A and B are shown apart, each in its own frame.
Chain A
Amino acid sequence: MGEPVAEPVVEPVPTARPANAATRLAARIELAKLAHELDLGLDEVSFLADADPVALRALRTDVAERLLARHAARFARIAHLSSLVPVGVAAKAAQHAVGPLVSARIAGSLPPAEAVRLAERLPPEFLADVTLSLDPSRVAGILAALDLDLLARVGRLLVARGEHVVLGRFVSVVPTAAALAVVDGAGPGDLLRVALFAEDRSVLPALVARLDDRVLVAVLELAHADDAHVDALTLVTSLDPASRSRIVGLLAGLPEDRAAGFLTAVAAIDAWPEVLPALADVEDGALRTLVNVPPTAEPAVLDAVLRTAHGLDLAVLLRRVLAVLDPAHLAALRAAPVAADPDVRAWLGWGVDEPHGGA
């Protein structure tokens, strides 16, 4: 039934296997998207859990593009036909004859102004159904011109339905105000999942900057309760330095076990380069709370901290950390292999005989 389509470009597909928790999480996110694309349960694609997330993304994109390409010419023709009938009739046809999947496919071929007029005649519930099959990259012009209130209503319906994968596709395409209106009132779990599924995380700093502290604290608390620290941390690493500092500061105000869980995740995915600079803005009392947790009493962890601080030339921060470390953590630091490195010792201004300098 499909139509001839252009021959795809053959590109090498990466097949490397993952290495750490961050990679496994990235693969899990991609699998959820692939399962959504093929209407499968997560368990049916779980055999791919150890696959490279970049390769999984390529597979998912291929599947989606080939499905779309099968009838692309026909969608263009029906889009042309829709201009031959009054917009009210086209809206009725979309809802009662064409259906949400095909309406979604056709939307990408409609002139944005016409698509907007059509969308405004359709109930949000139907538009939510349409959104499940929309390709955001093909309807960006429509989304930019749609009424913000309508966008928010459709988005909230998708939140209520738990369509986090779909929302994640749109979070970087809709105007920031609409995205904020959608997340206003959404639960922390919804926020975390939508952000994780975001196709383009570069938009997240702008969103996080406008979220209230209590919302971010709720997300941190949820990550702790669900043992989803790696999930939360993955998002933190996607943020700008100011947002990272803000979240680390909020973490310092929570009970100690929250910081312990978070820093265990930092060590697991080696996110020190992103997290360590964020400690620079934390005041000494909070810094003491954050750094004297059980996960940072491991020499291997402190070794990674010291190496990262040296690599990023964070001497001022490191001196502050050394000043607030408790004896057990200082002992662990002495056992860190890099503490014996002459370059590191010189960088910190430690003498040859001083195990941890004058800090």
Chain B
Amino acid sequence: MSRPVLTAMARRLDLPVERLALLEAYDDADLTVLDDAVSLAIRAEDRAVTEGLEEAVRFVPRPLRSRARAMLFGDRSGGRGEGRRG
């Protein structure tokens, strides 16, 4: 039975918890630091992608801009957010 901190990290990374078997031997306090770092890295990646692409659309010629926006952000509702399962 996996510990909650490992289950949470596995969900965050969208990995089977078995892939984190290495971490079973360590304290929750240490693993929480690692899990927080994973969470931060995911949020930083998501934020950078969203902000970067929003800004990038401004460089697309105006007639194509709405099409570009739809291409890049039309799938928002289908995204796999960090907190979806975690």
**Do the two chains belong together in a single complex?**
yes
The reply on A358 being an interface residue by CB < 8 A is no
Determine the residue in chain B with the shortest Cβ distance to A37. B41
The reply on A98 being an interface residue by CB < 8 A is yes
The reply on A319 being an interface residue by CB < 8 A is no
When the two chains form their complex, are residues A99 and B48 in contact, meaning their CB atoms are under 8 A apart?
yes
In chain B, residues 38-64, which have Cβ atoms closer than 8 Å to a Cβ of chain A?
A: 38, 40-42, 44-46, 48-53, 55-56, 58-61, 64
Determine the residue in chain A with the shortest Cβ distance to B29. A47
In chain B, residues 57-79, which have Cβ atoms closer than 8 Å to a Cβ of chain A?
A: 58-61, 64, 68, 71-72, 75, 78-79
Contacts of A2 in B (CB 8 A): 42, 46, 79-82
Determine the residue in chain A with the shortest Cβ distance to B71. A77
When the two chains form their complex, are residues A71 and B49 in contact, meaning their CB atoms are under 8 A apart?
yes
Closest beta carbon of chain B to A265's beta carbon, Å: 27
When the two chains form their complex, are residues A8 and B16 in contact, meaning their CB atoms are under 8 A apart?
yes
- In the assembly, what is the distance between CA of A12 and CA of B16, in Å? 11
- In the assembly, what is the distance between CA of A105 and CA of B50, in Å? 13
- Give the interface SS of chain A, mostly helix, strand, loop or mixed: helix
- In the assembly, what is the distance between CA of A55 and CA of B78, in Å? 33
The reply on A174 being an interface residue by CB < 8 A is no
When the two chains form their complex, are residues A81 and B75 in contact, meaning their CB atoms are under 8 A apart?
no
Q: 1/0 per position for A29-52, CB-CB distance to B under 8 A? A: 000000001111000110110011
| Range, interface on chain A | 35 or more
When the two chains form their complex, are residues B38 and A63 in contact, meaning their CB atoms are under 8 A apart?
yes
Number of A-B contacts (CB under 8 A): 146
Contacts of B55 in A (CB 8 A): 93, 96-98
Determine the residue in chain B with the shortest Cβ distance to A74. B72
- In the assembly, what is the distance between CA of A156 and CA of B18, in Å? 40
Contacts of B18 in A (CB 8 A): 10, 12-13
The reply on B1 being an interface residue by CB < 8 A is no
Closest beta carbon of chain B to A38's beta carbon, Å: 4
Contacts of A225 in B (CB 8 A): none
Closest beta carbon of chain A to B74's beta carbon, Å: 9
| Range, interface on chain B | 35 or more
When the two chains form their complex, are residues B75 and A38 in contact, meaning their CB atoms are under 8 A apart?
no
Determine the residue in chain B with the shortest Cβ distance to A59. B22
Residue in A8, A58, A93 whose beta carbon sits within 8 Å of that of B56 in the complex: A93
The reply on A1 being an interface residue by CB < 8 A is yes
Contacts of B27 in A (CB 8 A): 47
- In the assembly, what is the distance between CA of A62 and CA of B42, in Å? 13
In chain A, residues 78-107, which have Cβ atoms closer than 8 Å to a Cβ of chain B?
A: 78, 80-81, 84-85, 89-90, 92-93, 96-99, 101-103, 105
Q: 1/0 per position for A18-29, CB-CB distance to B under 8 A? A: 000000000000
- In the assembly, what is the distance between CA of A52 and CA of B21, in Å? 12
When the two chains form their complex, are residues A39 and B79 in contact, meaning their CB atoms are under 8 A apart?
no
Closest beta carbon of chain B to A168's beta carbon, Å: 20
Listed by A's residue number, 14 A-B pairs whose Cβ atoms lie within 8 Å are: A1-B81, A3-B75, A12-B18, A14-B22, A15-B21, A37-B41, A39-B37, A40-B37, A44-B37, A66-B14, A84-B64, A85-B59, A99-B51, A103-B52
Having A1-B79, A38-B37, A70-B45, one finds 18 other A-B pairs with CB under 8 Å, namely A1-B49, A8-B16, A11-B19, A12-B21, A15-B24, A15-B25, A44-B34, A59-B19, A62-B15, A63-B38, A74-B49, A84-B68, A85-B61, A93-B55, A97-B55, A98-B56, A99-B52, A102-B49
